[in-house]
Each structure stands twice: as C-alpha cells, then as structure tokens.
Structure 1
Amino acid sequence: MKLPEVMKRILGCVAVTLSLLLCWSFSYWLTSWLFAVIHYNPHEYARLLINSFLGFFLFGCCIAILTNIKWVKQKQENMLYPIIHAMKMISEGNFNIDLSKYKNHRPYSGLIESINHMAERLGIMEEMRQEFISNVSHEIQSPLTSISGFAHALKNEDLSSKERKHYLEIIEMECIRLSKLSENLLRLTSLESDQIPFDQKDYRVDRQLRRIILANEPQWAEKNIKMDISLEALTITANEDLIDQVWINLLHNSIKFTPQAGTIKVEALKTADNHLFVKITDKGIGMNKETLMHIFERFYKADPSRNRNFEGNGLGLPIVKKIIDLHKWGIQVQSELGKGTEITVMMNQTSE
C-alpha cells in the first residue's frame, strides 16, 4: 500500500472519530440544557442512552448531508459528459442530437435547452444549404446540357441554315439564362451579407413605376396585355436602384403569368393615415395556398416539373423580399388559382 493511501485512511479515521466526539459532546450539552429547562433529572443510565442515541443520530445526519452533497456533485459532473459529447458531435457536423431527457437536471437545464435549440437550427440550416446546392446544380446543369447537346449537333455538316440558326438561338437563350442565374445569385448573396451600399434619398415612386412600365413595353405589348395604370404623385425615401429591382421583378412575374390579351393593374396610392402602397394586380394563372407559403424561398417553383412555359430560376421573389426587409417595409401576396394575383408593397412612408 502506498504511503499517500495510508495517510488518507489515517486522516479519515481521525476525522470520523472527531466527528463522533463533536456530535456526542453537542448531544451531551443539548440534553443537559433541556433537562435543566424542564427541571428533570433522569437516571445516569437513561441519560447515557439518550446522549448516545442523540449523538449517533446527529452523526448519521452529518454523514447523510455529506453523502448527498457528494452525490449531487457527482451527478452534476456526470451531466457534463453527454453535454460535451453533444458539443463534439455538433463540431463534427452531426446535428442529430437530443438532450431532452436531461432538461430537468439543474443547474444545466438552460444550457441543455440552448444546445438542443442550436442543434435544431443548425440542422435546418444544413438542410437548406444542401437544398440550395442541389437547386443551383440543377439550374446550372440544365442549360449546360442543352448547350452541350446543341453544340454537338452543330457539328453535323448536313444541317440546314435554318436548323443551324435555330440551334444557335437556343444556345444563346441558355447562355442568357445562365448569366441571369449568376447575376441573381450574386445579387442575393450581396443583399444577405449587407455588402450593397444602402444610401437612401427622396424621390417620386410614381415616376419610377412609370419609367419601368415603359421600359418593359416590348414584353407586355408582345402578349397584347392591357396596362391599367393609376399612379398618385408620391414621394418616398428609399434606395432607388434596389427598389428598381423590386418593381422589375414583380412586373416581370405579372407579365409572365398573365395570358394573351390579359390585364395588369399598377396602382400607387396613399391612405388616410399617410401610408403609401403600391399594388400590382394581374388576372393570370394565380397560385394555390401551398405555393403562397413558399414563394419567397430561394429556387421555389410552383410547377414541380419545371415547365419551360414559365421560364425562371426562382430567385426573383427572394430578392424582392430581402430588399423590402432592408427598407423595413412590408409585402403581402393574395392569390387564387386560376383567377390571378395581387401583390401589395406597404412602404409606410409619408409623402411630402
């Protein structure tokens, strides 16, 4: 047996002996005081039994308290192991953890709840990241496949000039589509990282809307769409370049989903309490409730088969939402399948 262990045992025996003496001495003093108070003088043997019983009882209480303190301390130390293991799993990228069965163990209940919440949020973010990568890969792979296929077809020397021109037009359209995807991804990334300068100024939003509507005349005129314009003279404070993107995206969507000879209504108005609204209403294909719940998600498309009749990359509305949020405005979408869509931008600015 090593010397330190011998010393520990000797010190333990001394501590137990001293504890017994202290407990017995305290019990002797306590019983003497009680007997004096109640004027009772028991037999010496009875006094000895009472003192001994009380002394051992006090000693037992002390042992129980010390044991309980040690047990609680050991329990708290044991609780650290699953917490440390969970943090290690999170650091390795595994967010599928659940410490709920330990949530009632104090003083770590708050920490455990925070770790559970963190793991859940990180898991959601990881799913979104993987979905984002999958969607980007799909959006890039699709036009690249078309470009590769038609470029290979152009090597055929027997192609007529009409077929060759048609293939080149398809390649050009797919290149434009890739360019727009890249541009929108960069814009959305910049908006989310707050890297775009956010300088605001006062300007007339009605003039801005009129300019954008006229700039897009070739698109709506090609489909014979009637533009119903009702614009009050309204001044807002905003970043004009960013708000340009909002109106362009919303107008493009309305034109895209409005049938031939349809109608699009654009309104800019002020309410009695000086709040400003811009409404863009179309009588297009509309959306169901399920689609409405996801329209501001990146790459979300109502048509799961990605029908090329309605070309797009699913980034327009997320960009709109981010710009609206940066301005601390609001956006509301009301739609009914087969009847059309109404989008309201609530600017909450007072006009001069």
Structure 2
Amino acid sequence: MNRRRGARHRDARQSVRSGGRVATRPNASLRRKVRITLTIAGVLASLTLSFILAFFITSYFYRILNYQPRSLVDQLITSGLGILIMTAVGLTIGRFAHSRQMAFWQSLIDAIRQMAKGDFNVNVPIHSSMEDEPFHELVHSINYMAEELGQLEQMRQEFISNVSHEIQSPLTSITGFVQALKNEGLQRDKQLHYLDIIETESSRLSKLSDNLLKLASLDSNQHPFHRELYRLDTQLRDVILLVEPQWVDKDLQMDVSLEKIEIEAVSDLLSQVWLNLVANAIKFTPERGSVRVELQAQEGSAVIRVSDTGIGIAAADQERIFERFYKADKSRNRAIGGSGLGLAIAKKIVDMHLGEIEVESNIGEGTTFTVRLPLHPDHPL
C-alpha cells in the first residue's frame, strides 16, 4: 500500500516536472516549429499587405489632389506610409499580447496571494496557446502545490479535531467522577472504583501527551539519532519478556522464532516499534489465542513479522491504519484503550530507518504486521 502511494507521488512529481505531458515531447517540438513558421509567414504577409495598402492609399489621394509626384518621391511616400501602417499593426498586436501576458501573470499573483491567505482552492487555467510555452510548467507546479497544501491543511484540521476529541473524552470522564466523589454518602468501594477510573484516564492523558511530543520531535527531525550495531533478536526477546504479564494473564500462546541478526539502527526508537506491535497483538487477541513473532534475514534486510489470531482489521481500514488518530474499530478501541497514535509513530520510525511496514489481516482470522529494515543503511537518518 505504501509503495503504491509513494509511486503515485513520484508519478505526480514527474508529471509536474514534465509539464503534465510525459509522452508528448515530439508533438510539442513539431508544434513549436509550425508556430515559428506561421509567425514568419504572418510577418511577411503583414508586411506585404501594409505596402499594398499604402500603395492604394497614396494612389487614392493622388487622384483626389490631381497630383502625380515623381517616381522616386512616390516610392518614398509609399514606403514611409507602409512602414507606418506596419508599425501601427505591430503596436496593436503587441499591446494585445502584452495585455494577455499581464492577465496571465496577474492570475499567478492572485493564486499565490490566495494560498498565502490559507485558501488552497486554486486552479490557474492554462490557455491552449500557452501549452508549449516555457512557463506552462510553472502553472502546473502552482496547481500541484495548491492541491498538496490543501491536503495538508485538511490533515492539519483533522489532527486538531482528533487531538481535541482525545483530550476532551478523558477530561469529561474525570470531571464526572470528581463530581460523584463529592457525594458524602458515597460508599467506600465506589469511591475506590471512581478513583481507579480517574487514575486510568489521567494515565491516558499523560500517554497521549507523551505520544504527541514524540511525534512532534520525530517530525521536526530534532530527535537525537545515534545508530549503533546491536543484536536485533535480543531486543525483540527483551520486548516479549517485558510484556509477559499481559500475554500470561490472557493465557496466550507466544510463538517466537528469531534468527541471530545484527542491525545498525537507533535502538531506543526501534524498541518502541516492537513494543507497539507486540502489545497491540496481545491487546486485540482473545484469551487462549496465539501471537507469533518472527525474525529472519532476507537479501540484506531484517524481516520482522508479528502475527496474531485476534479480531482482525477490515480491508477498508487497512489503507488508513497508519494515519494519526485513526482507529479501525472506534468502539472497541475506546473500551480497550489507546489513542490511535502508536502505529503512526511506528511507521514514522520505520520510514526514518529507510524501511517498510505493511499489514495483512482478515476479520476474525487475525493480523500480521511485516517490517523490513536494511541491516546497514547507506544513508544517514
């Protein structure tokens, strides 16, 4: 899914660089030659018609004035008048072309000002006569930029809305139970129950804040990145042992198959990826189910698969599962917990390591997350 999306973006950028006409270079060159030929023919035709018109005009006035100058004088007068007519025609055409050019540049300026004000609903039209001009690529680039910025703005608004919702929900819950605790006749066991809920919601707010800060740090490229060579299989085994109380409590079968592999990466970041994937597999797998963690080397990459026999993810949700705050099953996730940021963070970290993360799932049959990471990346983070 991510490779297809990346390919579409590369195709779009290539289309912009080529002016949106990837396979029309020969036709464009031919049309340019034809246009030059027609322009030269038009100039010659205009020059000829100007002198013919000058000849008839001078002849008309000679007849009215009953005057016939000498041949040399007649030629000079006719030539001068022809030049004046040609100049007037040229100025008229130039003024018309200048007005069209000014209108074109003004449309670009208006579009840029509109985007500067936050309105990205911009589409600068391209006249058919401009299609082969050098600045048509500029028009395509502005329209493409407006479209991309519009999508970013929509994502920003959705992000703010989701953050507000995620914060408001636990705050509402905390406020409600605090009001209930003010009841002097409340029994002790209910007081403890309400306090447990308040503690849980407070922890949820704290985790949400930590995840938001982590995403902001990763997005700004200000997170400290120090690659080191370490045993990936050991790290995965440590993560599995870390969440042992969770899978033991649900009586899950934990199947582990790890090859001995060394990887050059940022250990603490990748640890968050494995912890998220394994914890999710445990969280969404019913009791007495099974979770499998595999690690193997393939063609210079480490391939990690985390599989479970849990509730599964619908096909429509799989396309958006790595989006921030997106939840495949909102009601079930709300009951289980989570903010919808874990997989977004995991994907961000994998991308920074020049890797890939994919998901395969069927409802009621389980889910498999596959991560591919280069063992020794050629490019720095």
Partner AA of 1:342 in structure 2? T
**Structure 2 CA distance for aligned equivalents of residues 249 and 97 of structure 1:** 40
**Structure 1 CA distance for aligned equivalents of residues 126 and 74 of structure 2:** 49
SS of aligned partner of 1:302: coil
> Judging changes above 3 Å, is the alpha-carbon distance between structure 1 residues 321 and 307 closer, same or farther for their aligned structure 2 residues?
closer
Q: Does 1:143 align with 2:176?
A: no
Please tell me whether the aligned partners of residues 103 and 109 of structure 1 are also in contact (alpha carbons under 8 angstroms). no
Give 1:236's aligned residue. Answer: 263
Give 2:118's aligned residue. Answer: 93
**RMSD in angstroms over aligned alpha carbons?**
2.8
Please tell me whether the aligned partners of residues 100 and 116 of structure 1 are also in contact (alpha carbons under 8 angstroms). no
> Judging changes above 3 Å, is the alpha-carbon distance between structure 1 residues 130 and 274 closer, same or farther for their aligned structure 2 residues?
closer
2:358 to 319, 328, 332: 332
- Range with greater deviation from structure 2 (174-183 or 114-123): 114-123
Give 1:296's aligned residue. Answer: 322
**Structure 2 CA distance for aligned equivalents of residues 192 and 103 of structure 1:** 41
Alignment map for 1:60-209 (pairs within 5 Å): 60-102=85-127, 105=130, 106=133, 108-209=135-236
Q: Note the C-alpha offset of 1:305.
A: 4.1
Structure 1: which 5+ residue stretches go unaligned?
Answer: 1-22, 29-43
Please tell me whether the aligned partners of residues 334 and 341 of structure 1 are also in contact (alpha carbons under 8 angstroms). yes
**Structure 1 CA distance for aligned equivalents of residues 90 and 346 of structure 2:** 65
Give 2:342's aligned residue. Answer: 316
TM-score, normalising length: structure 2: 0.75
SS of aligned partner of 2:241: helix
> Judging changes above 3 Å, is the alpha-carbon distance between structure 1 residues 306 and 259 closer, same or farther for their aligned structure 2 residues?
closer
1:279 to 290, 293, 305: 305
SS of aligned partner of 1:88: helix
Q: State the percentage of identical aligned residues.
A: 46
**Structure 2 CA distance for aligned equivalents of residues 222 and 337 of structure 1:** 24
> Judging changes above 3 Å, is the alpha-carbon distance between structure 1 residues 62 and 215 closer, same or farther for their aligned structure 2 residues?
same
- Range with greater deviation from structure 2 (339-348 or 298-307): 298-307
Alignment map for 1:218-233 (pairs within 5 Å): 218-233=245-260
SS of aligned partner of 2:313: coil
Q: Give the number of aligned pairs.
A: 312
TM-score, normalising length: structure 1: 0.81
Q: Deviations over 1:277-332 (max 9, x none)?
A: 11111111111221110011100001244653331101001100111011111112
Structure 2: which 5+ residue stretches go unaligned?
Answer: 1-49, 56-68, 377-381
